[in-house]
Structure 1
Amino acid sequence: MKQRKRYGRRTHLLLAAALLVLCVLLCLPACSDMILNPDGSISRPGTMTLDNGTGVTDPTGTGSTAGDMTLTPATGSATSGSMILDPTDDPYAGAAHRLYVDFLSVGKADCILLRMDDRVILIDTGEKADAALIRRTLDGYGIRRIDCLILTHYDNDHIGAAAAVLEGYAVGEVYMPDYVRDSKLYRSMMTAIEAAQSAGTVVRRLHATDVEPDMGYGKLWINATAMEGYEPGKVVGADADNEDTDENNFSLVTAVTFGNIKLIFGGDAEGERMTEYLPLAEARGFTSCTLFKIPHHGASADRGLLEAIRAWKPRYCVVCTDSAASVSWAIVTNMKSVGAGRYFTYDGTVCFSTDGNSATIRTRAE
């Protein structure tokens, strides 16, 4: 009898353990998308649709800034169809003015294509290995000429495919900071730039200045640093071609005004550079912005950058990077605190479009 009771108790314990394991397994999916808030609380936001509460309206009239796209607040990403080549896929096909911005999915690197009415602007060129993707994107849009090539600074993940772009396409103007990098990739780029100059390309090295290239309806403003220690003609020491040097604050910062839409592209500017830039931007009416390209792949969380996010309260933030692990938690927290939609190029190419009044944003898998 005692042995039977012992077996019965053991059976009950095994059943209880099995039920406990089953409950844990059932709860795992519900926990997978929970978010740890800065105050230590946990929330599970589920899926939401962006509304038009911060000045960016919805062309469909549905209250969503992305048509039928939904985004999860935890990542800010959404998947959608292929490259917009067919006007029927374009919500602004009939608009008088149109701006399209593609943040190419080139890993932890920058390559940003702007098509502003009939003008084409390219900000940085990713790594050398990204030349094929850049060429495929430009050719897919039928682009044969780049009106304005902006090279923010000379890290390999920003000028990698510059020579290939200059050799493969007509380029009207090149804007670049006024310093020299002692590297094989930089020298290769300069050879291509000199050849382009012979063919009529205008090249401008910038220091402590602002330039506003003529872009028709849209306004383009490029700012070069005047910070101490970043003097014109400075030579940044030799390094292995796969390493960065301390030159991020040489970054040209580019701002675009297109109707009521304002965009800021920060290159790799660190906190000190953003501290310099913030009052200059405010003096030009950039007290807020629709979209902010977070500098330096979201890896730096210096005070100046965090202050810029809080001051501008961007509707959307885009981070050009290869994984979530490389993005600073402080950057993510600050983007969330101002209610910004958060987009990352490791999900695919981020595509922003506007007619100067309303805007849409989505992610295209490559």
Structure 2
Amino acid sequence: MADNKNSRALRGLRSGKWLAAFLVVLLVLQLIFTLADSKENGKLYVHVLDVGQSDAILLRFGEASVLIDTGTATAQEQLRAALLYYGVKHLDHLVLTHLHEDHIGNARYLLEQYEVGQVLLPQVTSEELGAALLFDALSGVDADVMIAQAGACFSLGDAVVQVLYAPTGEAVSGDTDENNESLVVRVTHGTNALLFMGDGEEGLENRLLATVSHDLLDCDFLKVGHHGAAAASSDAFLAVASPRLAAISCGKHNSYGFPHADTLERLTATGAGIYRTDQSGTLTFMSDGTDMTYLEKG
């Protein structure tokens, strides 16, 4: 009788030990996955989407999303597929750098199909080319619409998104190019700095060089202005920006001949790695806060 009691007690003790061991293993695995998830969520991803001869750049930090420009309306299906692929269910911020159709063509679609927290756009006058398209896109939307001002910023996870330059609506002497009225956006993540130039060319670059601290123009990553046009990324600007990585969004065999050979030559002279959507499709870059890298497909 005593032996049976001892046997049952021993079995209970063993089962208790196994249960305790199982719980310890479970906790360790949970900790490992939590740390891995935390590490993954600590990364900033930049997806320069393949939307033909237009611009759309998706910034992702965990579940938070920012879209800089929307691409042209003819690339709506590419944009939809990309957002689905990257698991985007809402946009915390939609940044429209300027009013050209190849940058705002899908604004209405996005505002109708996605929950958008805030729309950030430049100063707009009703006479500007593209104003009617923008006003139509914004009509009846629930999103907070804000006219961008230089210095405005918001958080994207551990990253900070800052408007480095915003047009004031006043004419700039000698510069009538609407491309040079683009918002310029700077993103910082740890020690990494990213610069998004919209369609800005040399005129806007010179304005930045004259009015913005050069420390704020120094960057690890540059989204090259105006799809790599001949007048974008001047020697003077690149000498200050000194990017390690340069991304160009342009359509394959586009009629403009973008990116221009002179622009590519200037970028190459800086030693920057040059990546193009017309050659590689969507481009993905990752920042872990200390280093920034291009992620090869596959």
Partner of 1:330, secondary structure, is helix
Match of 2:108 in 1: 163
Q: Does structure 1 residue 352 correspond to structure 2 residue 293?
A: no
Match of 2:267 in 1: 335
Distance 1:305 1:167 in 2: 39
Change (3 A) 1:166 1:287: closer
Q: Does structure 1 residue 290 correspond to structure 2 residue 210?
A: no
Match of 1:312 in 2: 241
Identity fraction in percent: 31
Distance 2:297 2:212 in 1: 31
More helix as a share of residues: 2
Moved more, 218-227 or 310-319: 218-227
Q: Which runs of 5+ in 1 are unaligned?
A: 1-90, 232-244
Shift of 1:218: 0.8
Match of 2:250 in 1: 321
Check the 8 A contact 1:92/1:355 in 2, yes or no. Answer: no
Change (3 A) 1:167 1:211: same
Which residues of 2 match residues 216-255 of structure 1 at below 5 A?
216-222=157-163, 223-226=165-168, 228-229=170-171, 246-255=177-186
Partner of 2:140, secondary structure, is helix
Match of 1:3 in 2: none
Distance 1:183 1:363 in 2: 40
Distance 2:192 2:216 in 1: 10
Check the 8 A contact 1:314/1:340 in 2, yes or no. Answer: yes
Check the 8 A contact 2:51/2:79 in 1, yes or no. Answer: no
Shift of 1:117: 3.4
Q: Give the 4+ runs in structure 1 shifted more than 4 A.
A: 181-186
Match of 1:31 in 2: none
Shift of 1:214: 3.0
Check the 8 A contact 1:120/1:145 in 2, yes or no. Answer: yes
Distance 1:129 1:210 in 2: 33
Shift of 1:152: 0.4
Shift of 1:346: 0.4
Check the 8 A contact 1:108/1:321 in 2, yes or no. Answer: yes
Check the 8 A contact 2:51/2:71 in 1, yes or no. Answer: yes
Shift of 1:326: 2.0
Match of 1:204 in 2: 146
Distance 1:228 1:319 in 2: 29
Check the 8 A contact 1:154/1:181 in 2, yes or no. Answer: no
1:257 to 168, 188, 199: 188
Change (3 A) 1:181 1:133: farther
Shift of 1:274: 1.2
The total of aligned residue pairs comes to: 257
User: Which string of whole-angstrom CA distances, capped at 9 and with x for unpartnered residues, describes residues 222-243 of structure 1?
Assistant: 1203485169xxxxxxxxxxxx
Change (3 A) 1:359 1:93: farther
Change (3 A) 1:158 1:105: same
Shift of 1:329: 2.1
Shift of 1:194: 2.8
- Structure 2 residue identity aligned to 1:124: D
User: Which string of whole-angstrom CA distances, capped at 9 and with x for unpartnered residues, describes residues 223-280 of structure 1?
Assistant: 203485169xxxxxxxxxxxxx941111000010001111000001121211112355
Partner of 2:213, secondary structure, is helix
User: Which string of whole-angstrom CA distances, capped at 9 and with x for unpartnered residues, describes residues 5-25 of structure 1?
Assistant: xxxxxxxxxxxxxxxxxxxxx
Distance 2:94 2:42 in 1: 21
Change (3 A) 1:188 1:156: closer
Check the 8 A contact 1:218/1:259 in 2, yes or no. Answer: yes
Q: Does structure 1 residue 268 correspond to structure 2 residue 199?
A: yes
Change (3 A) 1:92 1:356: farther
Change (3 A) 1:93 1:132: farther
- Structure 1 residue identity aligned to 2:282: T
Change (3 A) 1:335 1:327: same
Match of 1:103 in 2: 48
Shift of 1:108: 1.7
1:214 to 138, 155, 159: 155
Change (3 A) 1:95 1:142: closer
Distance 1:133 1:140 in 2: 10
Distance 1:268 1:322 in 2: 15
Change (3 A) 1:279 1:216: farther
Check the 8 A contact 1:123/1:151 in 2, yes or no. Answer: yes
Distance 1:344 1:114 in 2: 17
